[in-house]
Chain A
């Protein structure tokens, strides 16, 4: 069993993502949503920690619509996978529990 973590706060302002990372298991997934997508930038705080998690097997997703809306399409780190709402639903099915970090 695994957990999908959704994070909707920017790591430039909040420690929400940091908390999520601290308890994220290797088979969990993280989905960056709303202002959470600012954490997908290469320059974001915790970017290194996300890469480390990714290397352990955690896939980091970001909402495509939220990325595009904020003009970030060409600025996000290479290990981030873009997803749409259909993908979001699939992630909730693949992982059993959903923890919303807000």
Chain B
């Protein structure tokens, strides 16, 4: 079965993005496929490469990146939600003349259409809200 995941919750303030991560791990462990993880609303904060949680705490940012790398999963961050909240890749930082960019490796910026496309091409779509 093909799954896609819609993460709408931030990485630290609420538990839901961690739940989404555990769910994805379990999906893969059962031999299913994760087509795309779409980060929307405050979920886009999962894609910052500037978070520095204490060493003895969960680093969910690394976990998402490793999950994507090991399983070749697309991590798509809604570009409209990200720009509004200050998550930019190099290209956008140049376009908006910002002095830095902070989108972590493994994540790509994409349009909302990719959320819909994910639903169309998946057997299951699961939302993790704030």
A residues neighboring B (CB under 8 Å): 8, 33-35, 63, 65, 84-86, 88-90, 92-93, 96, 98, 100-102
Chain B residue with Cβ nearest A33: B19
A-chain residues with CB within 8 Å of residue B29 when the two chains form the complex: 86
Distance in angstroms from B53 CB to nearest chain A CB is 18
Give residues 15-52 of B contacting A (CB, 8 Å). 15-16, 19, 22-23, 25-27, 29-30, 32
Q: Which of B9, B14, B126 has the most CB of A within 10 A?
A: B126
Q: Which of B14, B29, B30, B124 has the most CB of A within 10 A?
A: B124
Interface pair A89/B127, CB less than 8 Å apart: no
B residues neighboring A (CB under 8 Å): 1, 3, 8-9, 14-16, 19, 22-23, 25-27, 29-30, 32, 124-130
Leading 3 A-B pairs by shortest Cβ distance: A102-B129, A85-B26, A100-B127
Q: What are 9 inter-chain pairs, A to B, with CB distance below 8 A?
A: A8-B19, A34-B14, A85-B26, A90-B30, A92-B126, A98-B127, A100-B126, A100-B129, A102-B130
A-chain residues with CB within 8 Å of residue B129 when the two chains form the complex: 8, 100-102
Distance in angstroms from A66 CB to nearest chain B CB is 8
Interface of B is mostly: mixed
Distance in angstroms from B125 CB to nearest chain A CB is 7
CA–CA, A92 to B125, complex, Å?
Answer: 9
A-chain residues with CB within 8 Å of residue B125 when the two chains form the complex: 98
Distance in angstroms from B13 CB to nearest chain A CB is 12
Q: Which of A8, A90, A98 contacts B16 (CB 8 A)?
A: A8
Distance in angstroms from A86 CB to nearest chain B CB is 5
Interface pair A89/B30, CB less than 8 Å apart: yes
Instruction: Tell whether A34 pairs with B19 under 8 Å between CB atoms, given A85-B25, A89-B26.
Output: yes
